[in-house]
Amino acid sequence: MAQAVSSQRGPVTGTAMRSHKRRPFLLDLYSTAVGKKYVMAITGIAMMGFVLFHMIGNLKMYLGAADLNHYAKFLEELLYPIAPHGVTLWILRAGLITMLLLHLHAAYSLTVLNRRARPVKYQSARDYQIATFASRTMRWSGIIALAFITWHLLDLTFGVVNDHVGTKDAEGLKDVYGNVVFSLQRVPVAIFYVVANVLLGIHLFHGAWSIFQSLGWNNPRFNKWRRAFATGFAAIVVIGNVSFPIAVLAGVVGN
Amino acid sequence: MSNSIKNLTLKIWRQLGPTVKGTFETYNVEEISDEASFLEMLDYLNERLISEGKTAIVFDHDCREGICGTCSLMINGQAHGPQRGGATCQLHMRTFSDGDNIVIEPFRAEAFPIIRDLMVDRSKFDRIIESGGFITAPTGGAPDANLIAIPKPVSDSAMDSAQCIGCGACVAACPNGAANLFTGAKVAHLNRLPQGQPERFKRVEAMVETMDEYFGSCTNHGECEGACPKEISVDVIALLNKDYRKAKFASRKDLAR
């Protein structure tokens, strides 16, 4: 029997593998869309861990200025004296920046791939059945979250848009509490924080579910918990984060 | 019955060839029976167009019983129209009401170029199937039935994936034009069965990489599952991802390559 011959791929046999030179293992994995989704998921998990602990850490502001400022000092002194002052924190930051850059690059290249996969859009209105608002706005919620991160760093980390940054408290510690209060007492800033965090929550609502599919974690035993986990995680982060600007504006924090 | 006859307004995509610019044209069809299938309604319109000396609307169809995967069509923004678990040929006019406007568009994706009007070329699916290759099977005398023991849940889930008729609704419905549900179904069909094990990881690697050449990426909208005439679950995409990861991470000696 004659072998079926594909015009593009050569003879088809039971061992149909294209014999091209393989790239180094991780680059090879990253070269396909499925591999990029693994990167999206793993970097997503890392950043989810960060936003959760960031929110929990910020809850210290409800305990008062001293608690929050001591917590900030603790983060700088993490693993001291094994590591010098601030080094552990910078290692963690470098890891997060790497995660963010990988997440962005994978998102960008997948978006390019997807645009190319349907260059001519549907000319009539689509009637989506299952896709959610969250899943269809991932790019937008992601971009706005990125803009928010940029503002947030300029505001509370570098103090470019926050004149209070650099002030010390009564114990001589950085007055993180004062910085937060100064920033969030500006009503437009507080509104931006609320809006951006709700969008972050929408991003997490789809992302935290999507992770399970992208990593191939699918099991009838826990499938019904995946949506609940994503909803719960997004809700906890959003409620925590949104409470801060509201608490500052309401005067609960800062008096 | 009083409401069994319908008059409808159809907005249908007309395009003379792959590179020609297409446009929507409006047609009125009268006295369509509830019992007619969607394709029969189009046949009825075509008969009229032919008798008026106009060119008939080109659309794909073959078995008309939901098993060949030839019919396509985006009907009112949904692949295979507003029904779950059925192809366009299984869609009946009783789904619509008298006086409805129905918009009919071809499946759209870079991998599915329009041949004419509503007919698209879905041969890129064949490229994925080809790269999956064959399974290794012993030749010779016919083996005894049930020689290979397969647990019932395994054979059931393999059969669920094997239902895929390759119609392309998943790609058409996917906002990204991804073929992960199709490829996942084909991979799951063989990878879940004992007969598919020798080539399990080679198969998934080759099929994923071929899929990448033509299609978009999965962003887990789940729209494919909703459009699938066989209601294949996005679970097969998770299996595809898992086996692809295993294929990349496992020792090549274990994979017999």
Contacts of A79 (CB under 8 A, 6+ apart): A87, A88
Model ipTM value: 0.91
Question: What pTM was estimated for this model as a whole?
Answer: 0.92
Contacts of A35 (CB under 8 A, 6+ apart): A28, A29, B244, B248
Helix (H) or strand (E) segment spanning residue A185: none
pLDDT digits (tens, 9 = 90+) for B5-50: 889 999 999 999 999 999 999 999 999 999 999 999 999 999 999 9
| Cβ neighbours around A84 below 10 Å, total | 9
| Domain A29-116+135-250 in this protein, CATH class | mainly alpha
Q: Residue B187 has what DSSP assignment?
A: H
**Cα B132 to Cα A14, A21, A251, B183, B184, distances in angstroms:** 8, 19, 64, 10, 12
Q: Residue B64 has what DSSP assignment?
A: S
Kindly state the greatest CA–CA separation across chain B: 71
Question: Which residues of chain A make contact with B234, given a CB cutoff of 8 A?
Answer: 213
Q: Residue A157 has what DSSP assignment?
A: I
pLDDT digits (tens, 9 = 90+) for A120-131: 999 999 999 999
Give the alpha-carbon dihedral of B203, B177, B59, B77, to 10 degrees.
Answer: 140
> Which domains, from first to last, does chain B contain?
2-116 (3.10.20.30), 122-249 (1.10.1060.10)
Helix (H) or strand (E) segment spanning residue A224: helix A223-250
Burial class (CB in 10 A: 0-12, 13-18, 19+), A222: exposed
Q: Give the nearest partner residue to B220 out of A35, A38, A214, using CB atoms.
A: A214
* Residue A83 tokens, joined: 């590591």
* Residue A38 tokens, joined: 């693994």
Helix (H) or strand (E) segment spanning residue B233: none
- Closest CA of chain B from A3, distance in Å: 12
A-interface mutation test, from B186, B220, B246, B252, most A Cβ less than 10 A away: B220
- Predicted pLDDT of residue B140: 87
Helix (H) or strand (E) segment spanning residue B78: strand B78-79
pLDDT digits (tens, 9 = 90+) for A151-165: 999 999 999 999 999
Q: CB–CB of B133 and A12 under 8 A?
A: yes
Q: CB–CB of A214 and B241 under 8 A?
A: yes
Region of poorest pLDDT, from A182-196, B91-105, B129-143? B129-143
Q: Residue A5 has what DSSP assignment?
A: E
The single residue listed with the structure tokens 């929990």 is: A56
Q: CB–CB of A213 and B237 under 8 A?
A: yes
Q: CB–CB of A123 and B82 under 8 A?
A: no
pLDDT digits (tens, 9 = 90+) for A40-62: 999 999 999 999 999 999 999 99
Q: CB–CB of B220 and A209 under 8 A?
A: yes
Q: CB–CB of A130 and B221 under 8 A?
A: yes
Average confidence (pLDDT) over B76-83? 96
Contacts of B189 (CB under 8 A, 6+ apart): B158, B161, B162, B164, B196
Q: Residue B109 has what DSSP assignment?
A: B
The residues pairing with B103 across neighbouring beta strands, listed in sequence order, are: B11
